[in-house]
Chain A
Amino acid sequence: MGTGMRITTNAMIRKYSTNLNKALGDLDAKRNTVASNRNFNKISEDPGAAMKSFKLRSNFARTDVQIENTKDALAKFDEVTSNVLNCSSMANQFIETDLKGINGTASYETRQAYKQKVDKLVDSFLQQMNGKYNENFIFGGASTKELPFEKKGNEIYYRGEPVNTIPDTHKYFSEHSYRDIGFGMKEKEGEIVSTSAFDTAVNGLDVFGYGIGDDGLPNNIVCLAQELSNLLGKEEITGADKEKYDKIINKFPQVVNDMIDNGLAALGTKQAFLENAEDQLTQTSQILNEQISNLDFCDPAEAITNLMWAQYAYNATLKVGNTLLSNSFIDFMS
């Protein structure tokens, strides 16, 4: 006997059948990869990759939501901008055409005619300032269902409070309506950390002004128009009224400018920010998608090559079996 192991017929058969089974198992796995186009079909096949994949998929889903949030916010801001621009163009037109024609010496009837124009302007302004996006009022700050601006009698109200008397310290100015746009929206002591999310609340007071200026006239464009209307509605114009009238006329362009400067400029910054965020998110989304593809899905060329190789190995094993078991010493005995 040599130094090697004694080889018996059944050991050979068993070894062969184990190997055949292994080759078939391998073939099956490769076939599965090609058929499912996936690198792994169970976590246990590659726990590390699966874990990474879940994480990526989560991020992808979140990014998707955040892109939607950003788009939604952008759309709202487009609406806001458009409304502010509308207001400004209406105001400018009014200043250009109507305001010039009005003067303190006009007759009552003329004043009434003007008043009607001004009232119409106030209504148009209010219409824009109570504009909606997606059923929600866009200038209501964090409140979306409550009519922001309202004319009661001869006074303009913002969410139930006279615009002219709203102080700087009013809680309306500290309202937020956050959206998650991919900065990892987080809370600290039960409050959203402002830098971790995007505040979509647009406060109409900030845009259109509020309170009474040092000149004793409203800072808000509608209120100013209303003030003008109230003045024009008077039957008797006193000297003081006339003076006030001139002051209003003079203040109009300034208020419009403020609206453009304070309101639109701030909005523009935010819009640009959102556009930027959307770009980034979209990019992230694409990268994530690619990463998921690379991780989860197989390279067809490689998979098919592997399959062919497995097929080849299996065929070879089959062939070997056919020759392996054919003869023994007994066949050659005479």
Chain B
Amino acid sequence: MIRSSFAGFTTAQLGMSAANSALNVVGQNISNINVTGYTRQRVDLDSFNVTTGPRQWGSVNETFIGNGVLTSKIEQVRDPYLDLRFRTEMSSVGYYDKTLSSLQDLESVLDEVDREGSIHNQLEAIFKALNEFNPQAANNEFQNMSKTEMQLLTQYFNNYSNRIQQTKEDNIKEFREQTIPSINQLLTDITNLNVSIKDNEILGNPALELRDERNLLLDELSQYVKIEVTYTNEYLGLSDRTAEECTVKILGIDDEGNNFKYTIIHDDKASQFQINEDCSNLTMTDINGNPIADIGSALKPTNGVDGTFTGADATAMNELLKKIQELSNAVKDKMTKIDEQNKLISSLSSQKNNLVKQGNKLHEDLISALNSVKSINNVINNLQEQLDKMDADGVDKTSDKYKEVEASLASRQELLKKYNNKLFGQDTVPAGYPDDVTALNALDRDGSGIYNKLIKIYGTITDAKSQPPKYATDANGQLAGGELIDKKNELATARDDLEKMRADYSLTIKELKANIYGGKSPEVNLEGLDPADKTRLEAIDGLAKYANITVDWDSYPVEGTDFFVSLPTITLTGTSARDGNGIPLFDADTGKIGNIASDGVDITITDTRGVEYTEKAANVDGDPYQLDNNGNRVLDEYGNPILDMGDQRNMYEHFQEDSGSLKASLDMFNRAGEFNETSDRGYDYYLNMLDTFARQIAKVFNEANTMDKDGNPLVDENGKPLDYANALFGADGVAPIKNINVTNANGQYLGYDGNFHNEPLPDVFKTDKEGYVLDNNGDRIPFPAGSTDKFLSLNATYQADGNNLVDKNGNVVGTVTDYSNALSNAALDPTALASYGFVQSKTTYDIKDAAGTVIDTVNAGDWVDKDGNKLFNANSDDINDATNKLQILNGIANGTYETLAGKVPKIDYDQITADNFTITQDWVDSKTNFVQTHDPSQTAGYNDNINHLIAQFSEKLDYTFTLPDGTQQKVFNGTFVEFYDNIGNQLGLDVKSSTVLVNNYITVANDIANNRDAISGVSLDEEGIDIMKYQKALTASMRLMTALDEQLDKVINNMGVVGR
């Protein structure tokens, strides 16, 4: 190659330009060194060499010189793997950091290590007061001392509980009003950046700084939830240009607990979060802004009756889906056929063209051969004439001359034979040739001569000399034989087929569109559809009657043609099917359909991928929003529909454990350890522990003050209830009455008679220590009827739904009838009865009328009422005799019998919380007093009950809470102080482990950040070196330019002297 004289200038200029760009990038790096999230940029330089193909005047030596340097692009130095790792770690940092700060809030309330005034110390103070009270049992001032200490204890409980609740409320407020809006804003900001970056990319700007900004936001997002970020390059329109699209997914779990990714950002669209009032339900829209609700909001209830979805509905949907599948498959079959035909045509065409080419080539050969033959024949004729003349002249046949001519003739004739073979595939010319074409046509088509080959291609040869040869026609005037003719015919047939196919296809499209639009679109001409299609069409239109469906159309190009076919993908709209993109019911790509099954109670949907979803028919209401009685959406004050929270997919249940600060906050709000069978101890765990403790204290002291060790009421020597022996602790000053806790939909309460009444009736029945109701024989009473391991407990709170009893968790536990029957077998509790004044007399006395006449005699052991009047005889007429029991229960129910002042039949300890825990007002007012002895015969100063209570401080007690079925679940066993210390210790351990974990994760995250910095950060040393490097390069290029200039100056102005 000859290099242009000025090529060097370009090289020098490119070098200067590259160095200049590099220096500018150094400038950008240095100036942004302190910008958070800035990623180091780098100039990508490529050596440039104009390479061309072989050329005529190219040099034989390998002296190709390059053409300089190209500044190909400015790029960021970033490792996506480190981003991924950093964000994963940050989700753990976010989780434990949030958990730790919440636990530290609790610590400020519950940690008593360095505190004088504390529950721990107050318990000791009570112990001390009781010990001082012990020898001074009859002295009021000592009782008052104990009372004051206990009152103080309740105030500590109130204070601690209030502060924890306040902390929880503050955090909930912050979560609702700050955290959720921030994360939503963050999602929106990221989509905005996505749009900007894409816009820039379309204009050719890589938008590096915007990417930095986006990475920062993604880092921030990763602390809230565990995310995965992916980038895909999408083609822009029909050009070969691509632009990046960013997708963010939450790494979560599905309903079965398997890992699953939920899309929250795709390109310019993002999901938004919403949280309900008590932060138990975190909902999310899909990226299109539709609510992600349960399957029940996508299926339409049978005949519009909420909570129904029959098997017939499921079958109908399946039939419809099958028809859609058939239709689409038919379209696809036709598409395949068109494709095959197209391929056939093009193959035939090329074969035909090849044959034509071969024919033309053969013809050229033919002409040249014929010309050669002609000249050979001339030579032969000439030689023959010479021989004939020599014969005539009588030249000696043995003479050299004669022999020479003879040999020459023979060799020409041999040559002619070869030509004959080349032309005809035989030694001799066929008979009749050159005049008889028929003779040629009779040649063997598969023979080796040129004519034979031509005949094979063209069928016949009418005039071998014509160019190209003419086609012969047969007797019927049809083109006869020949591959070319055959191919032409095949081609024509294939074309015809394709035409027919296209017509068919357009009908198919028409059918398809008709189905798509339900035959209602004015654009669609339904003419030409057969009746079966119309029936099918109506059926498909009907699919929407059973479910909210989304139909997405994907375009499929028909190979070899210039048109596209749209085929549908049908999904169940906006359901909780994983990431809110709906449950695919038909997928045109694979041709698979889903299946719906229902037995009227349970619904199972299998999607096109074979994934199963279940739903209760009872949840089917056809809409994710709240509906009024007429089935219309209820609107809020701004006219927006209000989400039906019951329908929404709770994202909280779909986050991975221990990831992200959102999950941490929600765990703190919702998890209460043993109390709701969760693995974390949030605010409610500690509140529940304090409640449990308050209840235990109330129970121990109240029981000691109201009954003896056998559970009998405390009475005086005559058997009359002690008026001061009442509850010491209660809720808000009163001991809460335990009632039969069964209510119906009208808010009425179940009575002893099995009917519902406006007022609740108290529990007056005998129970064992675990709270199960006992019958006359002291046995537990089975409930539901016939059960062998479940028994009646009045600790449970039930709601009657018709005749069904539903527990707090919404489970049906039995029937109202069973419950009432079981209750009717319950024995009465003597202490509860004593609160009404019903006791067994310990003495014998007469009852006299006003005139002083004895009208009745009460014997020791007889049951008497509060006024001492006889109720029933002892033994023969026991209290639990059916008639007597009924009399008492009726009397209580209709208000004839009232409790004595300050007395409560049974105390509902579940109503006592740390928040409302107090000593009773009656005790404050000294109407109730501390019972010092359980022995009614003893005089003042006797202190066995005080000792009993002192001993309780060393007693290891079971601490329990009530499960929905009334059974008591144990959470701890130990003394008062041990229980309380355990609360603080548990918190201390949780804080410690969270601290350790958060520090670990921060260390790892910092390491990764350092690694990231090692790759993406700006180093001033490096940039300094680069300045020098590129500055030198720039100077060198400039020097090159000067050298070239000088060189040219010499060439132009000083080289050569001729002609000057």
Q: Distance in Å from the Cβ of B186 to the closest Cβ of chain A?
A: 23
Partner of B943, one of A40, A58, A62, A142: A142
Return the contact of A44 from the options B107, B114, B1013, B1025 (Cβ within 8 A): B107
Complex Cα distance, B977 from A9, in Å, reads: 56
- The interface residues of chain A lying within 8 Å CB-to-CB of B642 are none
For the complex, is B124 an interface residue (Cβ under 8 Å from A)? yes
Whether B1019 and A190, one on each chain, are in contact in the complex, defined by CB atoms closer than 8 angstroms, is no
| Chain A residues, CB < 8 A from B995 | 44
Instruction: Indicate if the CB atoms of A18 and B1006 lie closer than 8 Å.
Output: yes
Interface residues in B1014-1049 (C-beta closer than 8 Å to A): 1014-1015, 1017-1025, 1027-1028
Q: Is there contact, CB below 8 Å, between A186 and B1020?
A: no
A250 to B1023, CA, bound (A): 123
13 further contact pairs, Cβ within 8 A, besides A9-B1021, A177-B943, A190-B709: A9-B1020, A10-B34, A42-B988, A44-B987, A55-B981, A136-B136, A146-B941, A179-B135, A184-B954, A190-B948, A191-B709, A329-B1025, A330-B1023
**Quick one: CB contact mask for A229-247 with B, threshold 8 Å, 1 for yes?**
0000000000000000000
> A10 with B127: in contact, given A42-B988, A43-B113, A192-B951 (CB under 8 Å)?
no
B1017 touches A50 (CB 8 A): no
Contact string, A169-194, partner B, CB cutoff 8 A, digits 1/0? Answer: 00000000111100011110111100
**Interface 1/0s, chain B 931-961, versus A by CB < 8 A?**
0000000111111100110110011000000
Q: Which residues of B contact A9 (CB under 8 A)?
A: 33, 1017-1021
Chain B contact-residue range equals: 35 or more
CB contacts between A and B, total, < 8 Å: 183
Chain A CB within 10 A, most for which of B107, B139, B708, B988: B988
Smallest beta-carbon distance A140→chain B, Å: 7
User: Does B137 sit at the interface, judged by CB under 8 A?
Assistant: yes
CB proximity of A329 to chain B, nearest CB, Å: 4
Q: How far, in whole Å, are A142 and B933 apart by their CA atoms in the complex?
A: 11
| Residues of the B chain whose Cβ atoms lie less than 8 Å from the Cβ of A186 | 951, 954-955
Q: Chain A: which residue is nearest B1017 at the CB level?
A: A8
A residues near B128, Cβ cutoff 8 Å: 61, 64-65, 68
Most chain-B CB neighbours within 10 Å: which of A54, A136, A140, A333?
A54
* Chain B residues within 8 Å of A53, by CB: 113
Contact flag A50-B985 (CB < 8 Å), given A38-B114, A329-B1024 = yes
CB pair A10–B1018 under 8 Å, yes or no, is yes
CB <8 Å contact, B955 and A5: no
Docked complex Cα distance between A185 and B985 (Å) = 26
CA distance in complex: A76, B1014 (Å): 82
Q: Are A11 and B948 in contact (CB under 8 A)?
A: no
Shortest CB distance A330–B (Å): 4
Q: Distance in Å from the Cβ of A14 to the closest Cβ of chain B? A: 7
Separation of A89 and B135 alpha carbons in the complex (Å): 29
Let me know if B992 is at the binding interface, CB within 8 A: yes
With A42-B111, A185-B954: A11-B1017 Cβ-Cβ less than 8 Å: yes
Chain B residues with CB below 8 A from A6, complex form: 1014-1015, 1019
CB distance from A11 to the nearest CB of B (A): 4
With contact pairs A10-B33, A51-B981, A72-B135 given, residues A140 and B709 touching in the complex (Cβ less than 8 Å): no
Is B134 in the interface zone, CB < 8 Å from A?
yes
Using a CB-CB cutoff of 8 Å, which residues 297-329 of chain A contact chain B? 328-329
A333 and B942 alpha carbons, distance in the complex (Å) = 98
Q: List 30 A-B contacts (CB under 8 A).
A: A6-B1014, A9-B1019, A10-B1013, A42-B988, A42-B991, A43-B111, A43-B113, A43-B987, A43-B991, A44-B995, A50-B985, A54-B120, A61-B128, A64-B128, A65-B128, A68-B131, A135-B136, A136-B135, A136-B136, A142-B941, A142-B942, A143-B941, A145-B939, A178-B947, A179-B134, A179-B135, A190-B708, A197-B947, A328-B1021, A330-B1023
The one of B135, B941, B990 in contact with A140, judged by C-beta atoms closer than 8 angstroms, is B941
In Å, the complex CA distance between A38 and B941 comes to: 45
A9-B1020, A65-B131 known; A47+B989 contact, CB < 8 A: yes
One digit per residue, 1 when the CB lies within 8 angstroms of any chain B CB and 0 when it does not, for chain A 197-233 equals 1001000000000000000000000000000000000
Residues of B with C-beta under 8 A to A14: 1006, 1009-1010, 1013
Tell me, rounded to whole Å, the shortest Cβ–Cβ distance linking B132 to chain A. Answer: 8
- B984 contacts chain A at the CB level, 8 A cutoff: yes
A248 to chain B: closest CB distance in Å? 33
Cβ-defined contact, B991 with A44, below 8 A: yes
**Smallest beta-carbon distance A205→chain B, Å:** 16
Asked if B1011 lies at the interface with its beta carbon under 8 angstroms from chain A, I say yes
| In the assembled complex, B627 has its CB within 8 A of some CB on chain A | no
Nearest chain B residue, comparing its CB with the CB of A193: B951
Kindly state whether residue B138 has any CB partner on chain A within 8 Å: yes
Contacts A5-B1014, A187-B951 given; indicate if A192 touches B944 (C-beta within 8 A): yes
Q: Is A134 an interface residue (CB 8 A)?
A: yes
- At the interface, yes or no: A144 with Cβ under 8 Å from chain B? yes
Known: A68-B131, A134-B135. A333 touches B1028 (CB 8 A): yes
Contact present for B131 and A69 (CB under 8 Å): yes
Residues of chain B within 8 A of A135, CB atoms compared: 136, 139
Q: Which of A10, A144, A192 contacts B138 (CB 8 A)?
A: A144
- Nearest chain A residue, comparing its CB with the CB of B934: A190
- B:573-587 near A, CB below 8 Å: none
B947 to chain A, nearest CB (A): 5
Binary interface encoding of chain B residues 909-950 relative to chain A, with 1 for a CB under 8 A from any of its CBs, else 0: 000000000000000000000000000001111111001101
- CB of B127 within 8 A of CB of A62, answer yes
Chain A contacts for B943, CB-based, 8 A: 142, 177
Pick the contact of B124: A62, A68, A143, A146 (CB < 8 A).
A62
- A41 at the binding interface (Cβ < 8 Å): yes
Q: Which A residues fall within an 8 A CB radius of B?
A: 5-11, 14-15, 18, 36, 38, 40-45, 47, 50-51, 53-55, 57-58, 61-62, 64-66, 68-69, 72, 76, 134-136, 140, 142-146, 159, 177-180, 184-187, 189-192, 197, 200, 328-330, 333
**In the complex, what residues of B have CB within 8 A of residue A11's CB?**
1010, 1013-1014, 1017
Question: Who on chain B is nearest to A44 by CB?
Answer: B991
* Chain B residue nearest in CB terms to A333: B1024
Bitwise, B126-147 to A at CB < 8 A (1) or not (0) is 0110011011111100000000
CB <8 Å contact, B947 and A333: no
Within the complex, the shortest CB–CB distance from A35 to chain B, in Å, comes to: 12
Contact status B938-A145, CB under 8 Å:
no
Provide the residues of chain B in CB contact with A185, threshold 8 Å: 947, 950-951, 954
A-chain residues with CB within 8 Å of residue B1013 when the two chains form the complex = 8, 10-11, 14
A44-B107, A328-B1021 as given contacts; A134 in contact with B991, CB under 8 Å: no
Q: How far is the CA of A105 from the CA of B1025 in the complex (A)?
A: 139
Q: How far is the CB of B42 from chain A (nearest CB, A)?
A: 13
C-alpha gap A146/B128 in the complex (Å): 26
A329 to B131, CA, bound (A): 79
Give, as a whole number of angstroms, the nearest-CB distance from A290 to chain B: 19
Q: Which residues of A contact B120 (CB under 8 A)?
A: 54, 57-58
User: Are A50 and B1028 in touch, CB under 8 angstroms?
Assistant: no
Most chain A beta-carbon contacts within 10 A, residue among B113, B138, B1018:
B113
- For residue B1010, which residue of chain A has the nearest CB? A11
In the complex with contacts A9-B1018, A9-B1019, A145-B940 CB distance below 8 A: yes
Contacts known (A10-B33, A58-B124); A41 close to B942, Cβ less than 8 A = no
Task: Give Cα A178 to B137, complex, Å.
Answer: 12
Nearest-CB residue, chain B, relative to A187: B951
Contacting residues, chain B, for A197 (C-beta < 8 A):
947
Task: Report the nearest B residue to A40, measured CB to CB.
Answer: B113
**A5-B1014, A10-B1013, A44-B107 known; A143 and B939 CB under 8 Å?**
yes
Are A50 and B134 within 8 A (Cβ)? no
Q: Which residues of B contact A180 (CB under 8 A)?
A: 131, 947, 950
A29, chain B: closest CB distance, angstroms: 13
List A contacts of B940 (CB < 8 A): 143-146
Question: Do A330 and B1014 touch across chains, with their CB atoms under 8 A apart?
Answer: no
Q: With A and B bound together, what is the CA distance between A10 and B1009 in angstroms? A: 11
- Min CB distance A136 to B, Å, is 7
Q: Which residue of B has the minimal Cβ distance to A61?
A: B124
